[in-house]
Amino acid sequence: MARRKVILDCDPGHDDAVSIIIAASQKSDLDILGITTTAGNVEVEKTTCNALKISTLLDIDAPIFQGAKRPMVKAAEIAPEIHGETGMDGPKLPEPKITAEEKHAVDFIVDTLKQADGKVTLVPTGPLTNIAMALIKAPEVKGKIDEIVLMGGGTFGNWTPAAEFNIYVDAEAAKVVFDSNLPITMFGLDVTHQVIATKGLRERFSAIDNKISHFVVELLEFFGKTNEELFGFDGGPIHDACTTMYLIQPELFNFKHVNVEIETKGEYTYGMTAVDLYNVTGRIPHVKFADSVDQEAFWQLFGEILSSYSR
Ligand SMILES: [Ca+2]
């Protein structure tokens, strides 16, 4: 079977890094056409630098393209309290041996889709600015998009009471994406809070004892600490990793087909994803919404992925 073509659009970010590590382990199934970055957890220059470092560490040969410096309408908002000053505080990382491409991420996405032989899956794990701008710039590329597999939203918030960070940062972009009529598979907080990398799990993965497992555990230690302090969790939910775990093994997750609208006006609810779980509105259910995960199978596969990396 042909490898599935993917573009990873991200703002690394501890959980973005884990998501990239998962994708890069599947060389026979996933063809990473490029990694695009956006402002999100920290400024785009920093998320790009982090992507370059991860790529250097893993020896990923996909090109990296820097994208949006700020959301489409409002000013940028970042989350150093979760991810630290660099956006990926914690582990020591190699200095990048590669540089980002000259081309803007939005142009890369558009050109790649135009030229693609077959369809491409977009995997956004940060604010949706690049994806929305690509859809606005070249709506004709929609037919080349197989699926948008994203982390964002949920039936509750983590940045405001109503809104999850990725959607809140650029709700206007999220609206463009959710209104696009494209197939969207959504991993929101409802499911990502079910995959918390607890101390016990971190110890289990540390015992795998290779370079990548130690790197991941160091990421999860830092991310766990900030999540414990801010949210009282037993560790960090590896939100973004749900997207790439799904690409590898979709049956890990349970889905509901629902309508989801993006709130861009509410005084208290800006950036909320209004998830119509019971179809009370009668609007067309156009989103595949992940509501639960087989946790045991998820962590089993996650351990196997870490083990697949050599020492
Ligand atoms: Ca992210």
Residue 14 designated active-site: no
Instruction: Give, for 178, the enclosing helix (H) or strand (E).
Output: helix 171-178
Cα(29) to centroid(ligand 1), Å:
23
Mean pLDDT of 231-244: 97
Average pLDDT, the chain: 96
Which fold would CATH assign to domain 4-307?
Answer: Inosine-uridine Nucleoside N-ribohydrolase; Chain A (3.90.245)
Tens digits of per-residue pLDDT, 47-93? 999 999 999 999 999 999 999 999 999 999 998 888 899 999 999 88
pLDDT classification of 1: cutoffs 50, 70, 90: confident
DSSP strand pairing (4-10 vs 30-37): parallel
Quick check: 169 and 203 in contact, CB under 8 A? no
Catalytic residue among 14, 104, 214, 239: 239
Q: Within 13 A of 65's CA, how many CA atoms are on the CB side?
A: 22
Question: So what's the pLDDT on residue 189?
Answer: 98
- Give residue 239 CA to ligand 1 midpoint distance, Å: 8
Res 311: pLDDT? 64
Query: What pTM was computed for the model?
Result: 0.97
CA 107/CA 110 separation, integer angstroms: 5
The residue among 125, 130, 124, 132 whose CA lies nearest residue 175 is 132
Q: What is the mean pLDDT of the segment spanning 241-249?
A: 98
> Ligand 1 center to residue 21 CA distance, Å?
13
